[in-house]
Amino acid sequence: MKFKDWIESFTQVVILLLFFVAGCSFMVPDNDDNLASYSEGFVQLSGGKVDIADVKDINIYFKTQDSTTIGTCYRLANVVEIDPSYFYQSTPKRRVELVFHELAHCVCYRNHTEGKLKDGCPDSLMYKTYIDDQCLKTHWDYYLKEIYNGCEK
Ligand SMILES: [Zn+2]
């Protein structure tokens, strides 16, 4: 009964899940080469705010997500999972958006934003849902700068 009480807290269930992921690291696949190049890009575009050391411990790989999820960052386990069907069906900007969004969760400890720019586009790649192609195109340079807010050490 004590064990049941213990796992009833949502937070503790999440921690248990993260512990499970971390504890089973031998089952976690190595970095996918394609995704690793996005991690390197995340460092290169940061202008020194993110070091290669910050991303080298992040294990990033493809794994099919549930129907409402396209990527997941497990902060404590240093794991980023990217949904392969979404990724391969996406435009290049959408792919960057997804991978950088998850990396900013895991590397910079950023949380979701809910704000909008004057034209109605989301205020950040950290927006709670994916951003449409027109907004990505219009604000691409801004988004690539904004994503590093909070990455400074
Ligand atoms: Zn997110």
Write out pLDDT tens, residues 122-151: 999 999 999 999 999 999 999 999 999 989
Q: What's the whole-model pTM score?
A: 0.80
Within a domain: 41? yes
Distance 2 CA to ligand 1 centre (A): 33
Write the DSSP symbol of residue 73: E
Within a domain: 6? no
Distance 122 CA to ligand 1 centre (A): 13
User: pLDDT confidence of 67, banded at 50, 70, 90?
Assistant: confident
Within a domain: 138? yes
Within a domain: 68? yes
Distance CA 52, CA 118 (A): 35
Distance 3 CA to ligand 1 centre (A): 31
Nearest in space to 70 (alpha carbons), one of 132, 129, 116, 137? 129
Within a domain: 4? no
Distance 127 CA to ligand 1 centre (A): 7
> Domain with 67 in it: what CATH number?
3.30.2010.10
pLDDT tens-place string over residues 7-42: 454 444 444 444 444 444 445 566 777 899 999 999
Q: How many domains does the chain have?
A: 1
Looking at the chain, the whole-number percentage of residues with pLDDT higher than 90 is: 72
Boundaries of domain holding 49: 29-146
Within a domain: 2? no
Across the chain, the runs of DSSP E, i.e. the strands, are: 59-62, 71-74, 79-82
